[in-house]
Structure 1
Amino acid sequence: MKNLTIMEHKKVLVLGLAKSGVAAAELLHKMGAFVTVNDAKPFEENKDAQKLLQQGITVICGRHPEDLLDEGFELVIKNPGIPYSNIIVEDAVKRGIPVWTEVELAYLISEAPMIGITGSNGKTTTTTLLYHILNQGGLKPLIAGNIGTVACTVTENAKADNIIVTELSSFQLMGTETFKPKIAIWTNLFEAHIDYHGSMEAYGNAKFGITRNQDATDYLIYNADQEIVASYARKSNAHLIPFTTTHINEAGISADDEMIYWLGKPFMKRDIIALPGKHNLENVLAAVAAAIIMNCPKDKMEHVLNSFNGVKHRTQFVREWKKRKIFNDSKATNTLATRSALAAFKQPIVLLAGGLDRGHSFEELRPFMSNVHAVVVSGQTADRFAEFASSCGVKTIAHAKDIQEAVPKAAELSNEGDVILLSPACASWDQYPNFETRGDLFIEAVMKLN
């Protein structure tokens, strides 16, 4: 860990706890800062706050006092999920007090180079795949960020010979000032989180934080097939590495039906890739480009690509059952993600869909429903999705009360050679606390098929 004294004797407010807030507060305390934590959860119910108080950190819980910043704080580090409309954040911005997420702190103390990965979709798959490739290549990667491991905790313990592969959300990137990854990857940009950012432009500008401070010694690997991402890339000062699946690109990495090309020359065969779908091919191209830049041996890349079946709950292969292949895509909480999953398969599909009803249209899925011959619906949107599927020409539609009931129904409706796919196109909160729980129950039910 470097820059050990940059926070010494500074008065810092950590706003919001959860994993990132706790990690930031503990690290700042070790670095000699005067730390105050403010969290909305009452102290009696707040085990994190109780733990921090025992370490000698000032804790204010149960409310966000409007006059809190009168205490003379020099820096605010906020939980990424707290919006900028929060009264304390708004006040800090008005007073000119820097407002960071812990990612900025992680960057400032890191002895290891960082690879930052962002995008509306594909972040987790690309991050995980790249980590496994670099690990297989002996490059000592560590994984961090939005994927579940707090970045500042990882960088605190990293050495100069590590590489930190970091998944980053727009929420996290908004709270950075000097963050400058050695390699940045921007997978794509679709409309999302407008309730947080206010507009698509603000959302894109937040994502641009992945490359805003990069220079010619750094690399930006970006989706050249999306003009909106390409337009942001043209504003970057980094060495640009485009990826594309539409043509052979001599400036970056690309693919056709048979090969992956690096700088326009054949690099490896496509048929070694285990992950299905065009969207995953894009993730593979981005990860392979980063691995090439990091001088990872080609045979190690091929070994991982041939065995990597995806991230849990993201078009995850679960098992083959009576000549049907079953996939868990519980993370598909919107139509865009389900569209990508449907497009990944050429086989006939039995689709399990439905969940929380936010009133969103399913029309984006219509061009991708041609391979779906049966649908099992559940959750609040069951009737709406059933009506939509019927309008797409799906002949067989069944209702289930939950995922556990949906799995045997889907199995009964399937034929040899089919794909049975959970890709709900809806959030899970009508029946489950999160998409992970929904996916785990799906896997459990699938494993009970006999």
Structure 2
Amino acid sequence: MKNTEKYLQKNVLVLGLAKSGSAAANLLHELGANVTVNDQKPIEENEAAKALQQIGIKVVCGGHPIEILDDHFDVIVKNPGIPYTNPLLVRAIERDIPIITEIELAFQISEADFIGITGSNGKTTTTTLLYEFLEKGNRNPLIAGNIGTVACEVAKEATKNNIIVTELSSFQLMGIEKFRPKIGIVLNIFDAHLDYHGTKENYVNAKGQLLVNQEETDYSVINADDLEVMNLGNKSKAKRVLFSTKRILEEGVYVKDNFIYYNQEPVILIDDIALPGKHNLENIMAAISAAKLIGVSNNAIRQVLTIFTGVKHRLQFVDTINGRKFYNDSKATNILATQKAITAFNQSIILLAGGLDRGNEFDDLIPELKSVKSLIIFGQTAPKLERAGRLAGIDSIKYVDNVEHAVKVAYDHSSEGDVILLSPACASWDQYKTFEERGDIFIHAVHKLK
């Protein structure tokens, strides 16, 4: 960890706990800051807040009172999920109090370089795959961010010999000041989290924060098939490295003669890749781009790709029961992710979908739904999905109460050779705390069928 006196005797407010808030509060306390923690959950139910209180950190729980700002904070470290429309944050902005997220704090203390990965879809798969490439290539990677350990905890232990691979959301990237990844990867841009950002322009700008502090000695890995990603890349000072599934490039990563190439050099035959789904080619190519920049050999990359079958809840194969294959894609919390999941299969599909209603319709999903045999729907968005399914010409549409019920109904309406796919196209929060909980319930329900 870098020796820094940046926060010594500074008044710092940590807004919102969960894992990142607790880690940030502990680190700031260690750095000599006067830390106050403010969390929505009442102290009686808040074990994390109690633990911080025991080491002498001031804790205010049960709401976000604006009066707390009277303590004259030098900086606020904000939980990424708390929107900037929160009255306390609105007042803080009016008072010109800097607001950062925990990833900025991690960067400030880290001796190791960062690789930052963002995009609307594919972040977790790309992050995990790149970590595996670097591990196989003996490059001493660490993994952090939305996947793995909180970034500032990883950064505390990292040395100059490490490289920190981080999955980063638009929420996290809005709260950076100097965060500068040695390699920044932008996978794709799709309408997402508009309830948080307000407009797509705001969302795109938040994603672009990944690249804004990069210099000429850094690299930005850019999806050449996504115009908005290309526009973000054009604004970066870093050297661009392009990848494309659609055209052959003079430099970068591309497909030719059923091989993935890097700079005119064949890396792996596509048929040898274990990870299913055409959409995963983008994730694979992005990860290859970064791995090659760091000097990982083609042999190490091939060793990983021939055995890596995916990440839990991301088009995860669960089981085969009486000729029906079950896949858990609970991480598909938007339409684009479900579009990609459906197009990953040539078999007939029974789709399990539904969840939190964020106000959008599902018309963009209709072309893919035309290849779906049966639609099993649940949650707040079930009526909207039924409408889209009818417009797609699906005759078999069934309402169910939840994911567990959906598995039984899907199996009862399936035939040998079918794929039964949980790919909800919606967030989980109307019925489940997380997409992981939703996916775990699906897995358990599949195993119960046996």
TM-score (norm 2): 0.95
Alpha-carbon shift at residue 31 of structure 1 (Å) = 0.9
Distance 1:344 1:386 in 2: 22
Alpha-carbon shift at residue 294 of structure 1 (Å) = 1.2
Distance 1:385 1:197 in 2: 24
Closer/same/farther in 2, CA of residues 375 and 260 from structure 1, 3 Å limit: same
* Residue equivalent to 1:65: 65
* Residue equivalent to 2:153: 153
User: Aligned ranges for residues 295-374 of structure 1 at < 5 Å?
Assistant: 295-374=295-374
Closer/same/farther in 2, CA of residues 355 and 207 from structure 1, 3 Å limit: closer
Alpha-carbon shift at residue 257 of structure 1 (Å) = 6.1
390-399 or 215-224, larger mean C-alpha shift: 390-399
* Residue equivalent to 2:437: 437
Closer/same/farther in 2, CA of residues 44 and 111 from structure 1, 3 Å limit: same
Distance 2:358 2:108 in 1: 40
User: Aligned ranges for residues 194-209 of structure 1 at < 5 Å?
Assistant: 194-209=194-209
Distance 2:255 2:422 in 1: 28
189-198 or 307-316, larger mean C-alpha shift: 189-198
| 5+ residue gaps, structure 2 | none
Alpha-carbon shift at residue 148 of structure 1 (Å) = 4.8
The answer to whether the Cα contact below 8 Å between 1:245 and 1:256 also exists between their aligned partners in 2 is no
Alpha-carbon shift at residue 256 of structure 1 (Å) = 4.2
Alpha-carbon shift at residue 132 of structure 1 (Å) = 1.6
What is the DSSP-based 3-state SS (H/G/I as helix, E as strand, rest coil) of the residue aligned with 2:66?
A: coil
Distance 2:84 2:392 in 1: 42
* Residue equivalent to 2:215: 215
Q: Give deviations 1:387-443, integer Å, cap 9, x for gaps.
A: 432432223334433322322332233333322211122333333333222211111
The answer to whether the Cα contact below 8 Å between 1:248 and 1:264 also exists between their aligned partners in 2 is no
Alpha-carbon shift at residue 184 of structure 1 (Å) = 0.6
What is the DSSP-based 3-state SS (H/G/I as helix, E as strand, rest coil) of the residue aligned with 2:127?
A: helix
The answer to whether the Cα contact below 8 Å between 1:180 and 1:210 also exists between their aligned partners in 2 is yes
* Residue equivalent to 1:241: 241
The answer to whether the Cα contact below 8 Å between 2:374 and 2:394 also exists between their aligned partners in 1 is yes
* Residue equivalent to 1:421: 421
Q: Give deviations 1:227-247, integer Å, cap 9, x for gaps.
A: 111011001000101111111
Alpha-carbon shift at residue 108 of structure 1 (Å) = 1.0
Alpha-carbon shift at residue 101 of structure 1 (Å) = 0.7
User: Aligned ranges for residues 14-413 of structure 1 at < 5 Å?
Assistant: 14-256=14-256, 258-413=258-413
Distance 1:359 1:391 in 2: 19
The answer to whether the Cα contact below 8 Å between 2:131 and 2:141 also exists between their aligned partners in 1 is yes
Distance 1:379 1:197 in 2: 24
Distance 2:299 2:347 in 1: 31
Alpha-carbon shift at residue 89 of structure 1 (Å) = 2.2
The answer to whether the Cα contact below 8 Å between 2:174 and 2:206 also exists between their aligned partners in 1 is yes
165-174 or 135-144, larger mean C-alpha shift: 135-144
Q: Give deviations 1:64-100, integer Å, cap 9, x for gaps.
A: 3323333232111111112222233233323332211
Alpha-carbon shift at residue 204 of structure 1 (Å) = 1.4
The answer to whether the Cα contact below 8 Å between 2:361 and 2:384 also exists between their aligned partners in 1 is no
Closer/same/farther in 2, CA of residues 178 and 390 from structure 1, 3 Å limit: same
Q: Give deviations 1:141-179, integer Å, cap 9, x for gaps.
A: 111112252110110111221111001111111111111
Alpha-carbon shift at residue 447 of structure 1 (Å) = 1.8
What is the DSSP-based 3-state SS (H/G/I as helix, E as strand, rest coil) of the residue aligned with 2:209?
A: helix
Alpha-carbon shift at residue 266 of structure 1 (Å) = 2.6
Distance 1:227 1:370 in 2: 27
The answer to whether the Cα contact below 8 Å between 1:313 and 1:436 also exists between their aligned partners in 2 is yes
- Report the count of equivalent residues: 450
Distance 1:356 1:96 in 2: 35
* Residue equivalent to 2:7: 7
The answer to whether the Cα contact below 8 Å between 1:374 and 1:394 also exists between their aligned partners in 2 is yes
Closer/same/farther in 2, CA of residues 32 and 248 from structure 1, 3 Å limit: same
The answer to whether the Cα contact below 8 Å between 2:365 and 2:388 also exists between their aligned partners in 1 is no
The answer to whether the Cα contact below 8 Å between 1:3 and 1:108 also exists between their aligned partners in 2 is no
The answer to whether the Cα contact below 8 Å between 1:14 and 1:38 also exists between their aligned partners in 2 is yes
Closer/same/farther in 2, CA of residues 64 and 350 from structure 1, 3 Å limit: closer
Distance 1:122 1:438 in 2: 19
Q: Give deviations 1:195-220, integer Å, cap 9, x for gaps.
A: 22222222111111111111111110
Alpha-carbon shift at residue 343 of structure 1 (Å) = 1.1
Alpha-carbon shift at residue 357 of structure 1 (Å) = 4.0
Give the percent of matched residue pairs that are identical in Structure 1 and Structure 2.
55
Distance 1:227 1:171 in 2: 22
Distance 1:351 1:147 in 2: 27
Distance 1:241 1:147 in 2: 24
Alpha-carbon shift at residue 4 of structure 1 (Å) = 3.2
Closer/same/farther in 2, CA of residues 445 and 168 from structure 1, 3 Å limit: same
Alpha-carbon shift at residue 16 of structure 1 (Å) = 1.6
The answer to whether the Cα contact below 8 Å between 1:43 and 1:61 also exists between their aligned partners in 2 is yes
Distance 1:51 1:259 in 2: 53
Distance 1:144 1:429 in 2: 24
Distance 2:195 2:67 in 1: 27
334-343 or 112-121, larger mean C-alpha shift: 334-343
Closer/same/farther in 2, CA of residues 113 and 442 from structure 1, 3 Å limit: same
Closer/same/farther in 2, CA of residues 98 and 354 from structure 1, 3 Å limit: closer
What is the DSSP-based 3-state SS (H/G/I as helix, E as strand, rest coil) of the residue aligned with 1:139?
A: coil
Q: Give deviations 1:324-346, integer Å, cap 9, x for gaps.
A: 32211112222222111111112
Alpha-carbon shift at residue 349 of structure 1 (Å) = 1.2
Alpha-carbon shift at residue 55 of structure 1 (Å) = 0.4
Distance 1:250 1:322 in 2: 48
Alpha-carbon shift at residue 48 of structure 1 (Å) = 1.6
35-44 or 226-235, larger mean C-alpha shift: 35-44
| 5+ residue gaps, structure 1 | none
